[in-house]
């Protein structure tokens, strides 16, 4: 007899990620992320596939995280980042003929993003340093825990990193043989996502000033004379850069902030000889990259475009209509889908002979697995089978896509999940799930929270309301300045739609939950209607006026998204704040929040909780110590299970 999905089953999910073919095409490395035996952290190990025998073998075994693998040009060395438990991440190396893991650095501030020189004798990497610190320091300076912290900059904290201490990401060069290190960049800018030109003469990277949010530049540094030039004009936000094999051009991903942080990333082609730039994806009203919301995948997020050998085009991820797949783009600006199915591709690697790809793939009924795709063929060949037994022994609810016309006459896309087990003639409660962002996308991916709730006997509805990615730039931008307007109408209309379509739903037992923007929407909904019998708000926003000053992004996010500030439009911010409507809340509300969430700080939860409690409302506050805004996706495994359990128990109690 099959089992029902539980919160604890989260620990059985493996993230299979980051496939990278060796330059000679004989091997491919990939990573596996698993929950460790103590269930208090994650292990990441490197696995290698022999392309001739198709044999899979594990290459790292030590406790800790082994990630960001990169091959030398001759395919004889594999560099990666090794983070042992409670230690800073370091640069490590494996000789492919054997010899085990060799750690190359002992920098107390940690290392990331290895890139080999052409001859394999050096590795470019990144380190975060204060101006007073050096890569040659043997240990971090001990800080007096009672010493005052002094800040002069507007950006002084960041979610997941805490309060900042003046560090900037710099590029370094490490000698593979001697371990000697020299600095490549310096100054009060971050230098990230570096890549080397095929001729070895240029280093391209993204440069940003942390005091100018959403402003970054693509830079080219000459490795011959050390001069640097900016390709972009300090007016947009860019993330990724990749050289063509012939070295004559490069492609980079980003945007000119036409719609602030709601702007779709675009593809830009830069001619190194002529110095001119062309936007390749101008006619493609799609999101270039992966914007899928989920809770069951951990791994590399930065997917480089994969060039063809002739330098006439490349492959890149594209998200559209709830799917994330792969498109081919030519340097002339033509674009077509190579694979865009009802699935979630997180990253991929093109074989050197261009006959096939390895890709990491999730579906609505399977966490990530590695698959091989022969170009020109529709079928995939599954390479890993991490979840076969797990899926065979559990009952799964299969999401059913649907759409409806919004009140503005625009098609809105969503999914409905039936309870995992159903009895004839019985009615079931319905839970509305709302994603964060708001500029993210629900879609064809595995969502463990949804499967757990379906196993508890709930039907689930989730949609991509106005503001979501994946449905065109205007659809995404439409919510800015009107949170709680058309988006509220969309989610309520979705509830109406499924209640009408499925006669086994009990309209008197409705629940709602969401995180971040979805938490804001949950707070907003219970202040506008008594339609829901239970609600769970997670890492939410309740007060835009206080959010402006306490969030790491508050001062610009509020201006861009609510289109107001605390100086001249505080009334508008208050009018959009769920806290204003707290007297109207009659729905029992569970408030879940991370203590070290600097994106939507815990003050937002506490203000809401105090107001509800003072008014005698049915509410409970749960705080997760040492957790960030990213708790549900990559937080402490035990806390992720506890979070799911709190949600399950609240709905079980209130939706009887």
**Nearest in space to 513 (alpha carbons), one of 654, 343, 400:** 654
Task: Return the CATH number of 396-654, one of 2.40.110.10, 3.40.50.1820, 3.40.190.10, 3.30.70.60.
Answer: 3.40.50.1820
Instruction: Let me know if 349 is exposed, middle or buried by CB neighbors in 10 A (0-12, 13-18, 19+).
Output: buried
Contact 416, 502 (CB under 8 A): yes
CA distance 417 to 504: 12
Q: How much of the chain is in helix, strand and coil states, percent to nearest 5?
A: 20, 35, 45
Two structure tokens written together for 562: 């609510």
According to DSSP, residue 491 is labeled H
Contact 16, 369 (CB under 8 A): yes
Residue with tokens 């000053």: 549
Residue-wise pLDDT for 34-65, tens only, equals 999 999 999 999 999 999 999 999 999 999 99
**Nearest in space to 242 (alpha carbons), one of 218, 217, 264:** 218
pLDDT of the residue at 311 = 98
Two structure tokens written together for 62: 């030590």
**pLDDT above 70 for 115:** yes
Cα–Cα–Cα angle for 548, 551, 556, rounded to 5 degrees: 55
For the whole model, what pTM was predicted?
0.97
The mean pLDDT value of the chain amounts to: 96
Complete DSSP assignment for 233-287: -SSBEEEEEEE-TTSSEEEEEEE--TTGGGPPPEEEEEETTT--EEETTTT--SE
According to DSSP, residue 498 is labeled H
Distance in Å from the first CA to the final CA of the chain: 26
**pLDDT above 90 for 140:** no
pLDDT of the residue at 28 = 98
- Pairing relation of β-strands 90-95 and 344-350? unpaired
Q: Residues with catalytic annotation?
A: 516, 629
pLDDT of the residue at 301 = 66
pLDDT of the residue at 145 = 86
**Nearest in space to 45 (alpha carbons), one of 17, 77, 86:** 17
**pLDDT above 90 for 476:** yes
CA distance 592 to 517: 14
Two structure tokens written together for 600: 């939507």
CA distance 40 to 529: 40
Residue-wise pLDDT for 299-329, tens only, equals 766 799 999 999 999 999 999 999 999 999 9
pLDDT of the residue at 210 = 87
CA 116 to chain centre: 26
SS3 413: strand
Residue-wise pLDDT for 248-302, tens only, equals 999 999 999 999 999 999 999 999 999 999 999 888 999 999 999 999 998 766 7
Domain extents in the chain: 396-654
**pLDDT above 90 for 230:** yes
pLDDT of the residue at 1 = 87
**pLDDT above 90 for 534:** yes
Complete DSSP assignment for 559-627: HHHT---TTT-HHHHHHT-GGGGGGG--S-EEEEEETT-SSS-THHHHHHHHHHHHTT--EEEEEETT-
CA distance 184 to 167: 16
SS3 522: helix
CA distance 462 to 18: 28
CA distance 83 to 63: 9
**Nearest in space to 367 (alpha carbons), one of 389, 352, 339:** 389
**Nearest in space to 573 (alpha carbons), one of 546, 599, 550, 597:** 546
CA distance 240 to 613: 47
In percent, the amount of the chain with pLDDT more than 70 equals: 100
Q: What residues contact residue 620 under an 8 Å CB cut-off, 6+ apart?
A: 589, 590, 591, 650
Residue-wise pLDDT for 397-426, tens only, equals 999 999 999 998 999 999 999 999 999 999
């Amino acid at each position: 007899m099959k089992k029902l999905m539980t919160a604890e089953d989260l620990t059985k999910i493996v993230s299979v990620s980051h496939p990278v073919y060796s330059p000679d095409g004989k091997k491919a490395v990939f990573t596996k992320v698993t929950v460790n035996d103590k269930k208090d952290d994650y292990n990441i190990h490197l696995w290698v596939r022999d392309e001739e025998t198709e044999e899979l073998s594990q290459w790292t075994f030590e406790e800790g995280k082994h990630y960001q693998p990169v091959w030398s040009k001759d395919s004889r060395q594999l560099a990666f980042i090794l983070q042992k438990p409670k230690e800073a991440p370091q640069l490590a190396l494996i000789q492919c003929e054997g010899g085990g893991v060799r750690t190359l650095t002992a920098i107390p501030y940690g290392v990331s993003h290895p890139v080999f020189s052409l001859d394999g004798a050096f590795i470019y990497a990144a380190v975060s340093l204060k101006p007073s610190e050096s890569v040659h320091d043997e240990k971090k300076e001990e800080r007096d825990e009672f010493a005052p912290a002094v800040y002069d900059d507007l950006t002084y904290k960041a979610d997941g990193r805490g309060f900042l201490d003046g560090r900037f990401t710099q590029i370094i060069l490490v000698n593979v043989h001697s371990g000697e290190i020299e600095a490549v960049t310096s100054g009060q800018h971050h230098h990230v996502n570096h890549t080397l030109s095929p001729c070895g003469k240029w280093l391209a990277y993204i440069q940003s000033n942390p005091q100018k949010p959403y402003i970054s530049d693509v830079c080219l540094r000459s490795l011959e004379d050390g001069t640097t030039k900016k390709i972009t004009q300090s007016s947009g936000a860019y993330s990724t850069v990749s050289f063509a094999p012939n070295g004559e051009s490069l492609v980079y991903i980003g945007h000119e902030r036409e719609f602030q942080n709601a702007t779709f990333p675009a593809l830009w082609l830069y001619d190194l000889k002529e110095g001119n730039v062309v936007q390749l994806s101008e006619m493609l009203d799609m999101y270039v990259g992966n914007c899928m919301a989920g809770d069951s995948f951990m791994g590399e997020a930065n997917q480089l475009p994969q060039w063809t050998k002739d330098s006439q085009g490349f492959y890149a991820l594209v998200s559209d209509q709830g799917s994330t797949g792969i498109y081919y783009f030519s340097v002339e600006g033509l674009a077509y889908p190579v694979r865009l199915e009802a699935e979630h591709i997180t990253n991929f690697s093109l074989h050197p002979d261009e006959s096939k790809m390895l890709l990491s793939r999730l579906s609505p009924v399977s966490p990530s697995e590695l698959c091989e795709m022969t170009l020109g063929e529709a079928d995939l060949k599954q390479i890993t089978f991490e979840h076969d037994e797990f899926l065979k022994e559990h009952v799964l609810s299969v999401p059913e896509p649907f759409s409806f016309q919004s009140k503005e006459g625009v098609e809105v896309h969503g999914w409905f999940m039936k309870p995992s087990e159903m009895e004839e003639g019985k009615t079931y409660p319905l839970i509305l799930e709302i994603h964060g962002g708001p500029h993210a996308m629900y879609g064809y991916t595995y969502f463990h929270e949804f499967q757990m709730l379906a196993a508890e006997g709930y039907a689930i509805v989730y949609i991509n309301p106005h503001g979501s990615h994946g449905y065109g730039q205007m659809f995404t931008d439409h919510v800015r300045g009107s949170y709680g307007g058309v988006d509220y109408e969309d989610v309520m209309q979705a509830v109406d739609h499924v209640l009408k379509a499925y006669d086994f739903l009990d309209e008197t037992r409705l629940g709602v939950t969401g995180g971040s923007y979805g938490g804001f929407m949950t707070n907003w909904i219970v202040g506008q209607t008594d339609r829901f019998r239970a609600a769970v708000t997670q890492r939410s926003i309740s007060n835009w006026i206080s959010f402006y000053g306490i969030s790491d992004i508050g001062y610009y996010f509020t201006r861009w998204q609510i289109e107001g500030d605390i100086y001249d439009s505080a009334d508008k911010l208050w009018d959009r704040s769920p806290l204003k409507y707290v007297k109207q809340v009659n729905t029992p509300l569970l408030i879940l929040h991370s203590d070290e969430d600097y994106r939507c700080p815990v003050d937002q939860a506490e203000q809401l909780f105090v107001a509800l409690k003072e008014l005698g409302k049915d509410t409970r506050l749960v705080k997760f110590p040492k957790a960030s805004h990213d708790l549900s996706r990559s937080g402490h495994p035990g806390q992720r299970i506890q979070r799911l359990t709190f949600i399950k128990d609240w709905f079980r109690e209130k939706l009887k």
